[in-house]
A and B are shown apart, each in its own frame.
Chain A
Amino acid sequence: MSATSVLNPDVGGLRWWHNRTLRRFMRHKMACAGLILIVLMVLACAFGPLLLPFDDLHIDLRNRFAPPLTGWHLLGTDPLGRDTLARVLMAGRISLLVGFFAMLLSIAFGATIGIVAGYYGGRTGSVLMRIVDAFLSFPSVFLLLALAAFLKPSPMMITVIIAITSWMEVARIVETEVRSLREREFILAAKMLGLSGRWIMFRELLPNVIGPIIVAATLTVARAILLEAYISFLGYGIQPPLPSWGNMLNGAQQYLVRAPWLALAPGLAITLAVTCFNCIGDGLRDALDRRSQH
Chain B
Amino acid sequence: MLGFLLRRLSQSVILLFLVSLIGFAALTLAPGGPLSQYALTPGMSQQALDRLAEQMGLNRPLPVQYWDWLTHLLRGDWGRSYRDGQPVLTVIFSHVPATLLLMVTSTLLAVSIGAWVGVKSAVKRYSLFDDVATMASMIALSIPTFWFGLVAIYIFALKLQWFPAGNMYTVGDGSFTDVLHHLVLPVMVLTFVDVAVWSRYMRSATLETINQDFVKTARAKGLSPRRVLLRHVVGNALLPMIALAGMQLPMILGGALVAETVFTWPGMGRLFLDSLGYSDYPVVMGLLIFSAIMVLIGNLAADVITAMVDPRIRPA
Contact = CB atoms under 8 A, between A and B. Distances in A.
Contacts of A149: 276, 284
B19 A138 contact: yes
Nearest to A135: B22
B308 interface: no
A256 B295 contact: no
A256 B154 contact: yes
B26 A147 contact: yes
A74 interface: no
B183 interface: no
Interface stretch (B53-61, B213-221, B253-261): B253-261
Contacts of A138: 19, 22, 250, 288, 291-292, 295
Contacts of A233: 144, 146-147
A71 interface: no
A233 B258 CA distance: 11
A151 interface: yes
Interface centre among A141, A230, A234 (most CB of B within 10 A): A141
Interface string B267-303: 0010011001000000011011001100110010000
* Chain B, interface residues (CB within 8 Å), range: 35 or more
A257 interface: yes
Majority secondary structure, B binding face: helix
Nearest to B288: A142
A226 interface: yes
Nearest to B250: A139
A149 B26 CA distance: 11
A139 B22 contact: no
Contacts of B26: 143, 146-147, 150
Interface stretch (B42-50, B134-142, B224-232, B235-243): B134-142
Interface in B122-161: 135, 138-139, 141-144, 146-147, 150-151, 153-154, 158
Interface in A256-294: 256-257, 260, 263, 267, 270-271, 274-275, 278-279, 282
Contacts of B292: 134, 137-138
B29 A150 contact: yes
A202 B236 CA distance: 40
Nearest to A260: B154
Contacts of A274: 142-144
A32 B167 CA distance: 42
Contact of B153 (A131, A140, A234, A256): A256
B147 A271 contact: yes
B288 A256 contact: no
A145 B269 CA distance: 11
A185 interface: no
Given A130-B15, A138-B291, A142-B291, A256 B158 contact: yes
Given A139-B254, A257-B158, A263-B154, A230 B15 contact: no
A137 B15 contact: yes
Contact of A139 (B144, B154, B285, B295): B295
A249 interface: yes
Interface string A223-235: 0001001100110
A204 to B, nearest CB: 31
B31 interface: yes
A134 B250 CA distance: 12
Given A135-B22, A139-B250, A139-B295, A222 B273 contact: no
Interface in B7-22: 11, 14-15, 18-19, 21-22
Contacts of B288: 138, 142-143, 146
Nearest to B23: A138
A252 to B, nearest CB: 8
Contacts of A236: 276
B153 A145 contact: no
A130 B14 contact: yes
A256 B144 contact: no
Given A139-B250, A234-B273, A134 B15 contact: yes
Given A149-B276, A230-B144, 5 more contacts: A130-B14, A142-B257, A142-B291, A249-B147, A267-B151
13 contacts: A137-B299, A138-B250, A139-B251, A140-B250, A140-B254, A146-B285, A150-B29, A229-B147, A230-B146, A236-B276, A263-B154, A271-B139, A275-B138
**4 interchain residue pairs of minimum CB distance:** A134-B18, A274-B142, A275-B142, A267-B147
